[in-house]
Amino acid sequence: DIQMTQFPSSLSATIGDRVTITCRASQAISNYISWYQQRPGKAPNLLIYAAVNLQSGVPSRFSGSGSGTDYTLTISSLQPEDLATYYCHQSYSTPQGTFGQGTKLEI
Amino acid sequence: DVHLVESGGGLVQPGGSLRLSCAASGFTFRDYRMDWVRQAAGKGLEFVSRVNYDGSSIIYADSVKGRFTISRDNANNMLYLQMNSLRAEDTAIYYCVRVDVVVAARLFYYMDVWGQGTTVAVSS
């Protein structure tokens, strides 16, 4: 199955920073990637689907990009409520796909 | 508002059984595939099972195949997960998840609504 490697596994940033999280697939996944935010003690929440599409209700400071094997989630100006762990998920290889291992964002 | 509310979690001994339920509201339940996804304490997300619109197509993670059974009741907007032969490694928060799809060259599935989760602990 396709493996998803996220990096960094953790990072510390300051309010207002531009933050980038990358997910690398073990083979090309043709934009079949979504991104999720999980705040501490809460359920995951969909941010981005099909690599670049912002889910309804998600702040516009979040954006997605990428192609082939490398995909990026960007937060343009970090806010306190963005403290969370972020996961990527691919569903190119199989309907259920695979998750990345997560990136813990500390502020 | 779209809501998914899980219930049925608890403490069970190894080898025991548990049935999780998920009550869906705010959307046309029969129009969506539904998943169970779990998360062990301090760990990442793990797909458990998916059921299609009418229950005719089901997939399981290898780790639960033969032990867990997913089902749905479209008349009552309910999703279920019957868990048998439970092991310590099944200990996790179990999330009920709605699956949406983008029709492209091949179907793109993504998990657009998550419940708050129910906790399952397998221990003697």
pLDDT digits (tens, 9 = 90+) for B10-63: 999 999 999 999 999 999 999 999 999 999 999 999 999 999 999 999 999 999
The reply to whether A45 touches chain B by the CB within 8 Å rule is yes
| Per-residue pLDDT tens over the stretch A30-87 | 999 999 999 999 999 999 999 999 999 999 999 999 999 999 999 999 999 999 999 9
Residue given tokens 């889910």 in the structure block? A55
Name the CA dihedral angle for A50, B51, B36, A91, rounded to a multiple of 10 degrees: -30
Q: Are the beta carbons of A26 and A69 closer than 8 angstroms?
A: yes
Q: Are the beta carbons of B68 and B48 closer than 8 angstroms?
A: yes
Interchain CB distance below 8 Å, A89 and B110 = yes
* Position A20 pLDDT exceeds 80: yes
Mutant choice from A5, A45, A46 vs B, greatest count of B C-beta within 10 A: A46
Cross-strand partners of B59: B50
